[in-house]
Amino acid sequence: MNSDHELPRVLGARHAMALVVGIIIGSGIFLVPREMVAAVGKSSTLYAVWIVGGLLSLFGALTYAEISAGRPAYGGEYAFLREAYGDLVGFLYMWTWWTIAKPASIATVVSGLTRTLATFAVFSFFANPAFLGMNWGQIAALVALWLVTGLDIVGTRKAADVQAALTLLKVAIILVIAVSCFVFSGPMGTLHNFSTMFGGARGGFSGFMVALIAALWAYDGWSDVATLAGEVKKPQRDLPVAYIGGIIIVGALYMLTNAAIQYVLPASSLAAADRPAVDAVKLVLGQHGIAWGAALVSIGMAISISATLVGTTLSGARIGFAASRDGLFFARIANVHPRFQTPAFALVIQSVIGSLLIFAIGKFQALFSLAIFAEWITYGLAVSTVFVFRKRDAISGRPRVFSTPGYPVVPILFILAAVALTVFQLVDDPKNTLLGCIVILLGIPLFRYFERKKNAAALPIH
């Protein structure tokens, strides 16, 4: 591997938008409606939660578009936070995502893929013991992870092309699911379902917040394209288009999918459905004697998760790569493969950590809580940098490539929402969120080590 630490700009607007859409739409839209209606109770409130979650994601994306278009650097939020608030804040972001948030997310996604495949009879052996205390599903998850890592290493453009193709397939399948529910439901489908209620819901403000967290998890991933900003051909033009266009597409698809599911399932049935989209299509097509409805949705989920996996592995490796380029992490992680021009070593280390987490599959709920907590602290901080950069750019006379619509209201609302979510999680789940704080703080002594090493290397030799 060479050591020039530069990655070629090979991604166009099509790739950037496909990354936004493809990473966001994973398994969430197919699964979280159950948790959401169980939290809020009313089908109508469920829609309000989706709208609020979509608006918050759009507010964040609009602000990120201004920041990343003006500063298209490797590492996304790491680069924003380091430039705005210094090395320590940037390093703590990188540390949190490199060690827990991103590997846990990748491990969860790839395990979700094998769990979805296990619904087919041919893969029923996934639950059987294999070796080293693992079952065959875990082995399959490891194989899938390393196959995608290999694709990422061979070429960023190739991986992005595959991800874009899978994204088109997942959008097509979502449209098929929606059309099936609306067109073929017959007397089973009714608008009355949108006014039904689930009596055992948590309800109130806390119920709304729990549902909102689930919705934001389904929308999560819109920020990942920022980590690849240094590899986008025309970032000043393409990144705002990718952010805004991607969120609008995802929001429209989520509204459509949720409406299709609710058209078939009343709130009580929705709250009891492990896989709401599967159950809805199975019921609709089953009444016409079509037995492959559930298989159709499962195939769609598998394709959707695969596209998310390709995109999230691509973006995650860039965070450690960027910190290493700046002398704040292990130097080898910044190496670029001489043939493929990709951060191969960073990709390998990322997958090693993800593989280790697959062994700890029973602890994913705790890891997921840590990831969500860390993400929203990061999102709020990253969006706040827009105020720092605007002030600095006004002083220096630096031109603004893209301006956040609704500034300063849009970023302020997003930051307030991030604070509210963080405080709510601290109160509602103190154990996991406090663990998240401890993990973040553990990065401070490690930062001091790399800071001393960097300063020593900068000293003149006498």
pLDDT tens string 156-194: 778 778 878 888 888 888 888 888 889 888 888 888 888
Helix H or strand E encompassing 164: helix 156-183
Question: What's the pLDDT score for residue 460?
Answer: 67
Check pLDDT > 70 for residue 381.
Answer: yes
Average pLDDT, the chain: 84
- Helix 293-325, helix 77-85: angle, nearest 10: 40
Question: What's the pLDDT score for residue 2?
Answer: 43
> Contact, 316 vs 109, CB < 8 A?
no
Residue 179: how many other CB atoms lie within 10 Å: 12
Residue-wise pLDDT for 335-350, tens only, equals: 888 888 888 899 999 8
Over residues 293-306, mean pLDDT: 80
Check pLDDT > 80 for residue 112.
Answer: no
Question: What's the pLDDT score for residue 3?
Answer: 45
Over residues 237-243, mean pLDDT: 89
Percent of residues, the chain, with pLDDT higher than 90: 19
Nearest Cα neighbor of 101 from 435, 333, 420 is 435
CA separation for the pair 101, 353 (Å, rounded):
11
Over residues 315-322, mean pLDDT: 85
Q: How confident is the model at residue 414 (pLDDT cuts 50, 70, 90)?
A: very high
Q: How confident is the model at residue 361 (pLDDT cuts 50, 70, 90)?
A: low
Check pLDDT > 80 for residue 262.
Answer: yes
Report the amino acid identity of residue 336: V
Predicted TM-score (pTM) of this structure: 0.83
Residue-wise pLDDT for 43-98, tens only, equals: 888 888 999 999 999 999 999 999 998 888 888 889 999 999 999 999 998 988 88
Q: How confident is the model at residue 370 (pLDDT cuts 50, 70, 90)?
A: low
Check pLDDT > 80 for residue 373.
Answer: no
Nearest Cα neighbor of 107 from 143, 145, 151, 159 is 145
Question: What's the pLDDT score for residue 4?
Answer: 56
Question: What's the pLDDT score for residue 82?
Answer: 94
Question: What's the pLDDT score for residue 290?
Answer: 73
Percent of residues, the chain, with pLDDT higher than 70: 94
Report the amino acid identity of residue 180: S
CA separation for the pair 384, 316 (Å, rounded):
22
Nearest Cα neighbor of 412 from 91, 131, 60, 164 is 60
Q: What is the dihedral of CA 252, 253, 254, 255, to 10 degrees?
A: 50
Cis peptide upstream of residue 408 (ω within 30 degrees of 0): yes
More confident residue, 164 or 265: 265
* 204-213, 247-256, 373-382, range with greatest mean pLDDT: 247-256
Residue 58: how many other CB atoms lie within 10 Å: 22
Q: How far is CA 333 from CA 295, 320, 324, 336, in A?
A: 41, 7, 6, 8
Check pLDDT > 70 for residue 255.
Answer: yes
Check pLDDT > 60 for residue 362.
Answer: no
State residue 2 phi and psi, 5-degree precision.
Answer: -85, 175
75: alpha, beta or left? (left if phi > 0; alpha if psi -120 to 50): left
Check pLDDT > 70 for residue 371.
Answer: no
Over residues 282-295, mean pLDDT: 77
